[in-house]
């Protein structure tokens, strides 16, 4: 499966000086791929368990042309961020939650999955091996991308006879080109993202390419991204192409319930908990597009996106603007979340895994 060179067997073989830093323009990081040094690979033969994985030099992977992932989209991905603290320590945010989500997704996609311990260990090893690519404090984070794919050959439609778990990483900063500026979203009324009974609730790779057409069209019209409606009624808000959505009205914060078409975001769940701690009335339920357009404030959450404030939403040629800026609910919640993620505030919830 893999053609690669110099395969170190254990993390002890990696020796880095703390002041070694990759040659990156840290002030101009966006969310583009910056290839790093190592990736982690672990395989599972049919009906078996995942074997001992290993770090490999980052590089191309070799797949059978009839691999399940290439032919039938049998694959899942995850996203996790590692931050560097001022004192040099490296922090992961709730990687066990990503491991659990991958397990649930794997069950839906008829794939074996790594155990939570295997997953978290692979993520840790990948971050450590690429330590020099973790941005300095305040300059971004190392985005870790675990993939689970049907790597064995199939021709007729069937689960792949072999699966591969691969983890790579890239330093990143802001996801949207807007940076921290509020997003302008377009409510999509032609294309759908996910339908009931489908795979919208898991992080299947096949959920993402189909959103590109609507996303590109909206971007060409000057919008930041697209917000999807439910496929049945075309009335209830679902999620943005790459993140979950929240509305704020007075003391109430609402977000679409995870009913099978909404991705159970780790940032979404964390913000729900933080908002509850702040005394907001948090509701996970259906949110009608009319209610969205009448909100005081709207914001998006996701690992890549963080917490992004929405400045306007356009639906059926009507554009509505929302409260933005430092005094918003999203700014208040984001500051709490980031404080924990960056190790600036006490981790009372046990969300941080130090590497």
Interface of this chain with ligand COI, residues 96 to 135, rule: CB under 6 A: none
The verdict on whether 203 is a catalytic residue reads yes
Q: How far is the CB of 270 from ligand COI (least distance, A)?
A: 13
Which residues neighbour 169 within 8 Å (Cβ) at sequence distance 6 or greater? Answer: 36, 39, 82, 126, 127, 130, 133, 142, 143, 144, 145
Q: Where does this chain touch ligand COI (CB under 6 A) — which range of 46-54, 124-132, 272-280, 298-306?
A: 298-306
Distance of CA 92 to the CA centre of its chain: 13
Q: Where does this chain touch ligand COI (CB under 6 A) — which range of 20-28, 35-43, 275-283, 299-307?
A: 299-307
Mask: binding to ligand COI, 232-261, rule CB under 6 A, as x and -?
A: ----------x-------------------
Q: Pick from 277, 278, 229: which is nearest to 256 by CA? A: 229
Residue with tokens 């993620």: 341
User: Which residue's Cβ has the minimum distance to ligand COI?
Assistant: 79
Report the C-alpha gap between 328 and 332 in whole angstroms.
6
User: How many residues interact with ligand COI (rule CB under 6 A)?
Assistant: 7
Catalytic residue among 103, 131, 203, 342, which?
203
Closer to ligand COI at the Cβ: 292 or 308?
308
C-alpha distances out from residue 129 to 83, 90, 134, Å:
14, 12, 10
Does 304 contact ligand COI by CB under 6 A? Answer: yes
Q: How far is the CB of 1 from ligand COI (least distance, A)?
A: 24
Does 79 contact ligand COI by CB under 6 A? Answer: yes
Residue with tokens 């709490």: 336
Pairing relationship of beta strands 306-315 and 297-302 according to DSSP bridges: antiparallel
Report the SS3 class of residue 31: coil
Does 302 contact ligand COI by CB under 6 A? Answer: yes
Q: How far is the CB of 80 from ligand COI (least distance, A)?
A: 8
Closer to ligand COI at the Cβ: 184 or 303?
303
C-alpha distances out from residue 83 to 28, 40, 143, Å:
17, 19, 9
Q: What are residue 14's phi and psi, to 5 degrees? A: -90, 120
Report the SS3 class of residue 118: helix
Do the beta carbons of residue 180 and residue 174 sit within 8 Å?
Answer: yes
Closer to ligand COI at the Cβ: 275 or 308?
308
Closer to ligand COI at the Cβ: 152 or 200?
200
Does 171 contact ligand COI by CB under 6 A? Answer: no
Closer to ligand COI at the Cβ: 203 or 342?
203
Angle between the 329-341 and 266-277 helix axes, to the nearest 10 degrees? Answer: 110
Closer to ligand COI at the Cβ: 81 or 342?
81
Give the CA angle between residues 193, 242, 31 to the nearest 5°: 145
Does 199 contact ligand COI by CB under 6 A? Answer: no
Does 303 contact ligand COI by CB under 6 A? Answer: yes
Chain residues that interact with ligand COI, rule: CB under 6 A: 79, 208, 242, 302-305
The residues assigned a catalytic role are 203
């Amino acid at each position: 499966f893999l053609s690669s060179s110099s395969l170190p067997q254990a993390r002890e073989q990696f020796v880095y000086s703390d002041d070694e830093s990759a040659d990156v323009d840290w002030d101009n990081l966006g969310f583009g791929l910056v290839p790093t040094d190592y990736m982690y690979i672990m395989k599972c033969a049919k009906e078996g368990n995942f074997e001992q994985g290993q770090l490999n030099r980052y590089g191309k992977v070799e797949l059978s042309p009839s691999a399940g992932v290439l032919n039938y989209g049998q694959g899942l991905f995850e996203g996790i961020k590692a931050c560097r603290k001022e004192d040099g320590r490296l922090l992961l945010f709730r990687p066990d939650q990503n491991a659990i989500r991958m397990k649930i997704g794997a069950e839906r996609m008829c794939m074996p999955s790594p155990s939570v311990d295997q997953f978290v260990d692979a993520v840790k090893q990948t971050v450590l091996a690429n330590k020099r690519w973790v941005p300095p404090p305040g300059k971004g984070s190392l985005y870790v991308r675990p993939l689970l794919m049907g790597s064995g050959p199939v021709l007729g439609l069937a689960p792949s006879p072999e699966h591969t778990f691969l983890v790579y990483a890239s330093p990143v900063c802001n996801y949207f080109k807007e940076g921290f500026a509020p997003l302008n979203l377009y409510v999509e009324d032609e294309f759908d993202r996910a339908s009931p009974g489908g795979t919208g609730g898991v992080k299947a790779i096949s959920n993402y390419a189909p959103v590109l057409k609507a996303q590109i069209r909206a971007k060409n019209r000057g919008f930041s991204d697209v917000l999807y409606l439910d496929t049945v009624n075309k009335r209830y808000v679902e999620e943005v192409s790459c993140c979950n959505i929240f509305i704020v009205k007075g003391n109430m914060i609402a977000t679409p319930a995870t009913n099978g078409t909404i991705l159970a975001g780790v940032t979404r769940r964390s913000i729900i908990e933080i908002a509850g701690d702040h005394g907001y009335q948090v509701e996970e339920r259906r949110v009608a597009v009319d209610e969205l357009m009448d909100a005081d404030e709207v914001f998006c959450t996701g690992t890549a996106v963080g917490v992004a404030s929405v400045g306007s939403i356009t639906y059926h040629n009507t554009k509505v603007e929302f409260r933005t800026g430092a005094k918003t609910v999203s700014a208040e919640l984001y500051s709490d979340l980031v404080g924990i993620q960056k190790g600036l505030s006490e981790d009372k919830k046990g969300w941080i895994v130090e590497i």
